[in-house]
Structure 1
């Protein structure tokens, strides 16, 4: 999201970013150009859950690689998102500031309805934003694809949380179908947890998540069509995988200590597990 904000700022747009809820990342937005940043402090319940992050994240390394195992973890995480969503909705100062901007376009990550601590997805309705764009940091998001009308093809396209690749036998295809369905059910559960907050605050007629997602103008994915599995798509889906990769040699210079380590060998392989499963929590026997 920070990269997208900077791209828009560089193009001359007035851009506002509401960044992540993780307290550890409070000073690490990754922004280079965007200066309009609105932060909402972590809800006390969310902060308490993040206090246990090391224990929780360490468990991720030893989880059984299954849809059930991932959903069990994700539901725990979903509760923290819901708490933070409630916090944002009740943060009157932030709401007033956002309303004053009179946005033309709203962009939100669609893992959950409140945008995974970025923008509150439902707030776009409150601010009367006419055009909305959904974003996922994954290569695909089955629940969003389903809502906007992308044809599903679990017989040969692995789901977002599938344990199978694109070469599947009959039983593998059945398992992929079940895992894709379970992934969609998880997001529907999370969405419903948050939509209940909006309907409590703004009335029972507040739009459902399916209706709002179906009305997005575009869906940006972190996919590279040359590397991803072949899959059905529609014109709303825009693949922007690699947008965060910098080609600036000056910016890509390593700190001296890391540069010296990498120069010890002719070739090196660097592995990153992203910002969720941090390598520093990896068990020693995995290293």
Structure 2
């Protein structure tokens, strides 16, 4: 997890320092942004562009840190996104779940501290997550572990893939 976190951090620093990308993005007026919270880069980009309204998408279940930031109950009896067990957790699974929760918290905090300091953000990434108005999860409400959600969280199905096809070119990225 540490080397994965380092790769995401380096990729994000590289993107956040790309003046050409930000000059192009600042020409546009955004009503809101859409991001996935696997790491903190998306909300960092939004902060740098002054976008305060956002929607969180998750291609899998919700990340533990998102639960905490949005004030959604996430007790240790709920399976972590990293876990490989179902809805019933033994005492050993709960202990292991604590490790998963701690790993996500550490992953988030390490990235957050580095980026907050590097780009002089005035608020924490955890607070920036709280600006999100909606969260869509790619899970099925009957197939995933039961969790308590807020009115901002919607489960929209299960993982599915469409037949791949080439992406359309967008002229301003040339």
TM-score (norm 1): 0.52
Query: Is the aligned partner of 1:86 residue 2:13?
Result: yes
Runs of 4+ with >3 A deviation: 241-246
> Which residue pairs with 1:14 in the alignment?
none
Query: Is the aligned partner of 1:209 residue 2:125?
Result: yes
Query: Is the aligned partner of 1:133 residue 2:94?
Result: no
How far off is 1:193 after superposition? 2.8
> Which residue pairs with 2:66 in the alignment?
144
Larger Rg: 1
> Which residue pairs with 1:198 in the alignment?
119
C-alpha spacing 1:131/1:197, structure 2 compared with 1 (3 Å): same
Please give the residue correspondences for 1:1-287 in structure 2 after superposition, counting only pairs within 5 Å.
74-115=1-42, 121-155=43-77, 157-199=78-120, 205-242=121-158, 245-246=161-162
CA deviations 1:184-226 (Å, max 9, x no partner) are: 2222223223323222xxxxx5221111011211122221112
Contact in 1 for aligned 2:60/2:159 (Cα 8 Å): no
> Which residue pairs with 1:69 in the alignment?
none
* Count of equivalent residues: 164
How far off is 1:177 after superposition? 2.7
How far off is 1:243 after superposition? 7.3
Please give the root-mean-square deviation of Cα atoms over the aligned residues, in Å.
2.2
Contact in 1 for aligned 2:59/2:159 (Cα 8 Å): no
Q: Secondary structure at the match of 1:100?
A: coil
C-alpha spacing 1:85/1:232, structure 2 compared with 1 (3 Å): same
Instruction: Give the unaligned 5+ runs of structure 2.
Output: 165-174
Q: Secondary structure at the match of 2:132?
A: coil
Contact in 2 for aligned 1:135/1:221 (Cα 8 Å): yes
Contact in 1 for aligned 2:5/2:107 (Cα 8 Å): no
Cα distance in 2 between the residues matched to 1:212 and 1:90: 20
Cα distance in 2 between the residues matched to 1:98 and 1:108: 15
Contact in 2 for aligned 1:109/1:135 (Cα 8 Å): yes
Q: Secondary structure at the match of 1:108?
A: strand
C-alpha spacing 1:178/1:243, structure 2 compared with 1 (3 Å): closer
Instruction: Give the unaligned 5+ runs of structure 1.
Output: 1-73, 116-120, 200-204, 253-287
Q: Secondary structure at the match of 2:33?
A: strand
Cα distance in 2 between the residues matched to 1:183 and 1:86: 20
Cα distance in 2 between the residues matched to 1:242 and 1:138: 8
Contact in 1 for aligned 2:61/2:137 (Cα 8 Å): yes
Higher relative contact order, chain-length normalized (CA < 8 Å, sep 6+): 2
Cα distance in 2 between the residues matched to 1:76 and 1:166: 29
